[in-house]
Amino acid sequence: MAKQFEGKLERLDGNRWRIPRDASRGMRVDGIIYSSDELIGDVVAGGGLDQVANVATLPGIVAASLAMPDIHWGYGFCIGGVAAMDIDAGGVISPGGVGYDINCGVRLLTSDLTADDVRPRMEALTNQVFRDVPCGVGVGGPYTFSGGEISRLLNEGMKYLHHRGLASDDDLAATESAGSIEGADVSAVSMEARKRGGDQCGTLGSGNHFAEIQYVDQVYDAPAAAALGLEQGRVTVMIHSGSRGLGHQVCGDYLKTMQSAPKRYGIDLPDRQLVCAPFDAPEAQQYLAAMRAAANFAWCNRQLLAEQIRKAFSHFFGKSAAQLGMAQVYDVAHNIAKVESYEVGGKVRRLCVHRKGATRAFGPGSPDLPDRYRHLGQPVLIPGDMGRASHVLLGTAAAMEQTFGSTCHGAGRVLSRGEAIRKSAGRRIDKELAAMGVIAKSRSREGLAEEQPAAYKDVDDVVNCVAAAGISHKVARLRPMGVIKG
């Protein structure tokens, strides 16, 4: 982790703190951090606050450099950060504001199964999913795509899988942007990136990615939960994954491409990891086209993971996925930049909203939401840490006013991966999780060690903070029963 923040930090209210724009040279706007008293110690120690101030220096930034309570140190921008740049006022786009795992995100499936149905067979069911879902560093999967096929997948996203019979109308309707972002251009994606994606679509990967069998253990808003297909005791499956090696390569490629851009466009940066270019500059548009293609890949990845999990459940229970009621609740992106319009200062402005480790959380009535959820607000899926819980929330009108329709994305790390592995020496994390009622499978000891619950903040504290601040609405809490990791 980076060094603890030592700059000026002022309390605004019970759930918000501010780094004033005069606290550091070059800041154009304040930094606003969502945090409660329970979390502020970890927030200050996490190393991300200096990055909040750094992002506030970027040209075109609007309102504030924002951070959610799951903030921690990241590449250039903090994880848990949100920054909106005015496209028509010199606003920039920065690959570090999206990150290496482009469109890392979460999908949630529900089912008609109950916790009592599956708990006696939980180890066998987890083993079935572990056998059937490819996971681990560099591991390929059963779905392979030729050069022409991968080009269509990158340009069209889930529409291409729908054409191939690998995604339903309901899957598209219950995915952010219907799993396909306009403006993707495969010609902006390097051959090396395309090669890395050829056999990795439909694979989980490693690190913090997982597939988790859960059950609904608490409902906070019964009508909303019912509209989402969530009932007390109902079994769900959460999938957390991204764009694999393809997205990583895209980010790396464009960090190099843009290395000299700040000097060329006269942009003074406090941190070279913030490399960026004005939105309309050729290299910025090339990055945006490639980033959108990688985002399409990530939505296809989670779609094919969901297909394999449905098949694993179908094989295990001897019923079709439809007979098991395995429907998709929603799918959200965490790491992405999107062009959206907001009223700021009485004027509607076109903004490039960078969300890095943050979830879109549009409020009720948004035309960007599927008909079934438009009256509720956007479903927001917040994964936990294998041992405690995950949450389902809804976006709110306050999020549209305060955070460009954004909220947190997870619990947020408090230990680096190296620290977590060191602290697990001599321990069996799988045994510790089993004692908590969670069957955990991983390709390596380190895979569980670096993701142990102690490596994260308590997700309940994070969710309670964004709910108290009004930028999300609590619907249900999900408890883990079985988890697979790379």
Please tell me the distance from the alpha carbon of residue 235 to that of residue 326, in angstroms, as a whole number.
10
CA 472 to chain centre: 16
The CA-based dihedral angle spanning residues 144, 148, 151, 157, taken in that order and rounded to the nearest 10 degrees: -60
Please tell me the distance from the alpha carbon of residue 479 to that of residue 313, in angstroms, as a whole number.
19
Which of these is catalytic: 162, 248, 354, 409? 409
Please tell me the distance from the alpha carbon of residue 408 to that of residue 3, in angstroms, as a whole number.
22
- Contact between 381 and 230 (Cβ < 8 Å): no
| 409: annotated active-site residue | yes
Query: How would you write the chain as a 3-class SS string?
Result: CCCCCCCCCEEEECCEEEECCCCCCCCCCEEEEECCCCCHHHHHHCCCHHHHHHHCCCCCECCEEEEEEEEECCCCCCEEEEEEEEHHHCCEECHHHCCCCCCCEEEEEEEEEEHHHHHHHHHHHHHHHHHHCCCCCCCCCCCCCCHHHHHHHHHHCHHHHHHCCCCCHHHHHCCHHHHCCCCCCHHHCCHHHHHHHCCCCCCCCCCCCEEEEEEEEEECCHHHHHHCCCCCCEEEEEEEECCHHHHHHHHHHHHHHCCCHHHHCCCCCCCHHHCCEECCCHHHHHHHHHHHHHHHHHHHHHHHHHHHHHHHHHHHHCCCCCCCCCEEEEEEECEEEEEEEEEECCEEEEEEEEEECCEECCCCCCCCCCHHHCCCCCEEEECCCCCCCEEEEEECHHHHHHCCCEECCCCCECCCHHHHHHHCCCCCHHHHHHHCCCEEEECCHHHHHCCCHHHECCHHHHHHHHHHHCCEEEEEEEEEEEEEEC
Residue recorded with tokens 């549009």 = 362
Annotated catalytic sites, by residue? 409
